[in-house]
Amino acid sequence: MMVTRGETATLQCMITMYNGDVSWSHDGQPLSHGTSKLTRDPRYSVETGISNGRLMYMLKIMDVNYGDGGMYNCTSGRHSESVFMYVTGMIVTVYLCFNAICSFRQYYKVYFYL
């Protein structure tokens, strides 16, 4: 998923069969258990709802910044789902390839001269 810096990101986890409380993590770091936050970051919140008869846990991140990018996991019992969040904005990622070897650099501004 792609989110622009400064916006609010909403990650959704639908539960088809209740296997215990849902936990959210970011790059392996716990963020929540059930509706209780485990992070002190005030931009994060967890909400629940019902959609098509299924329980839904939503992780909301307000004012997204570049550090919020990465792998998010939603776990309930032995069931787990993952999503990678890319944060876009002023930084441009440029991939450079030479002889099938690629690397990337990040720039705040990119100028192309023709």
pLDDT at residue number 113: 34
Domains and CATH numbers, the chain: 2-88 (2.60.40.10)
Mean pLDDT for each 10-residue chunk of the chain (114 residues)?
85 75 91 91 91 83 90 85 81 49 45 33
Q: How high is the pLDDT of residue 42?
A: 95
SS (HEC) of the chain: CEEECCCCEEEEEEECCCCCCEEEEECCEEEEECCEECCCCCCEEEEEEEECCEEEEEEEECCCCHHHCEEEEEEECCEEEEEEEEEECCCEEEEEEECCEEEEEEECCCCCCC
